[in-house]
Amino acid sequence: MKIGFIGVGNLGEKAVTKLSKDYDLFLSDPIEKDELKKVTNGYFSLDETINSSDVIFFTIKPNMIGELFSKNDFNLQDKTFISFMAGLSLDKIHELIGEKTNLIRGMPTVGIGSGDSAIAITSNFSISEEVKNMLSNLGSVIEMKEKHFDAFTAIVGAGPAYFALLAETLVEIAHEEGFEKPESWVNTLMLGTSKIYDEEREIGFENIMSMVASKGGVTEKALETMKENGFKTIVSDAIKKAIERSKDLGK
């Protein structure tokens, strides 16, 4: 299978790096990265990338696709396109590229670089096992109805940034308390918590808090303070705003 990438920014680069071990890749992006040239066929024009590929990823900003396809007349027959663009529905993408074609809408996280992403997908055709297997190299593939995509994007697609914000806050507090270079053990903290859940999924996240928070102890006091200051409300409001933004991008 030959795979093309239209746009090789942060997300695209991670997908390219992961897939380059097993697939024949063609890239289209105005900024060429030498390290990616070494593991792919290189960079090509938009039409050359499309013509050379069986499956083409859209890993560009949503506002760019209309302009790219308005200037060109491509033969999109027998091609499969996979969109990793936030907010754009299947119908909207077809409208922007000006032609009906086999199209998969997907939403991963930046974890695709290590194969540790949840990837939501929906499509306008029956996806082949070959394409599903290719996507599974990037993470766990979850097929869902398109109506759930805005919420999935806001909760999971943007999720790494939320955990990074919490980690950044812990690091800043650690610095204030006199610790040097606490980043590595804050990272270990996140990995360890994930591993606890992964090994004992039946206990749930609430029980992980109970495991750590002894009655009248340090953790219980911190959790009580977070709840009193509206931690869950802040997160909930932020996610709702993100869902609204995802919907706006699709208009």
Region of poorest pLDDT, from 43-47, 74-78, 178-182 = 74-78
Least reliable range by pLDDT among 6-15, 69-78, 130-139, 199-208: 69-78
Beta bridge partners of 25: 3
> pTM of the prediction?
0.84
Cα(11)–Cα(102) distance, integer angstroms: 22
Percent of the chain with pLDDT over 70: 99
State how far the Cα of 173 lies from the Cα of 222, in Å rounded to an integer. 13
* Mean pLDDT along residues 92-96: 89
pLDDT of residue 216: 93
Question: Where is average pLDDT lowest: 23-32, 188-197, 233-242?
Answer: 188-197
Average pLDDT over residues 46-66: 92
159 contact partners, CB below 8 Å, separation of at least 6: 109
Average pLDDT over residues 30-59: 95
Band of residue 72 on the pLDDT scale cut at 50, 70, 90: low
CA–CA distance, 232 with 45 (Å, rounded to integer): 47
Q: Compute the mean pLDDT over every residue in the chain, rounded to the nearest whole number.
A: 92
pLDDT for position 202 = 76
| Ranges of each domain in the chain | 2-146, 159-249
User: pLDDT of 179-221, one tens digit each?
Assistant: 999 999 999 999 999 988 888 777 788 888 999 999 999 999 9
Q: Which CATH architecture has domain 2-146?
A: 3-Layer(aba) Sandwich (3.40)
pLDDT tops 80 at residue 71 = no
Query: Could you tell me which CATH number the domain at 159-249 has?
Result: 1.10.3730.10
